[in-house]
């Protein structure tokens, strides 16, 4: 799997995080989104393509070795970007740049660093299938 190409095929604009789940025992960190769309155009633009939308979709980081947060605030709004910070033999260091909006409508940027073996999308309608392309 070409992780960089895969990440460029994920569209999260106008979407929001509904929850975060970290299962240390299963080595999983998951970001649940209200919707995940895919980018399939040659020019890299979303172009309102909805044929592969995943309602209540999940971005799943698997084989997680480490998670570091810049602060204790959880994601609950937009995901701006998922960046590849570094790649090693067996692990990729990701940074999820997103936001949290509190009860007073104040937005705080949130950065979560994840060292994981892989990333995939999960459609809750078919949770056993890992979408990697």
Over its length of 133 residues, how does the chain's per-residue pLDDT go in tens digits?
699 999 999 999 989 999 999 999 999 999 999 999 999 998 988 999 999 999 999 999 999 999 999 989 999 999 999 999 999 989 999 999 999 999 999 999 999 999 999 999 999 999 999 999 8
92 is a domain residue: yes
Q: Could you tell me if residue 133 is inside a domain?
A: no
**Count of domains for the chain:** 1
pTM listed for this prediction: 0.93
Compute the distance between CA of residue 100 and CA of residue 34 in angstroms, rounded to an integer.
15
Whether 128 is in a domain gets the answer no
Burial class (CB in 10 A: 0-12, 13-18, 19+), 56: middle
pLDDT of residue 44: 87
In a domain, 97, yes or no: yes
Position 132 in a domain: no
Its domain, for residue 63, covers: 3-122
Q: Is residue 76 part of a domain?
A: yes
Taking the CB of residue 57, how many other CB atoms lie within 10 A of it?
Answer: 24
In a domain, 91, yes or no: yes
User: Of all helices (H) and strands (E), which one includes residue 6?
Assistant: helix 3-8
Whether residue 11 lies inside any domain: the answer is yes
The Cα 69–Cα 111 span in angstroms is: 6
């Amino acid at each position: 799997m070409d992780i960089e190409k895969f990440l460029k095929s994920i569209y999260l604009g106008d979407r929001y995080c509904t929850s975060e789940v970290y299962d240390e025992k299963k080595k999983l960190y998951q970001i649940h989104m209200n919707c995940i769309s895919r980018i399939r155009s040659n020019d890299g633009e979303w172009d309102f393509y909805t044929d592969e939308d995943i309602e209540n979709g999940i971005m799943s980081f698997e084989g997680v070795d480490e998670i570091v947060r810049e602060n204790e605030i959880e994601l609950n709004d937009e995901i701006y970007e998922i960046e590849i910070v570094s790649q090693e033999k067996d692990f990729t260091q990701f940074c999820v740049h997103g936001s949290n909006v509190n009860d007073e409508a104040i937005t705080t940027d949130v950065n979560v660093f994840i060292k994981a073996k892989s990333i995939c999308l999960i459609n809750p309608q078919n949770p056993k299938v890992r979408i990697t392309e």
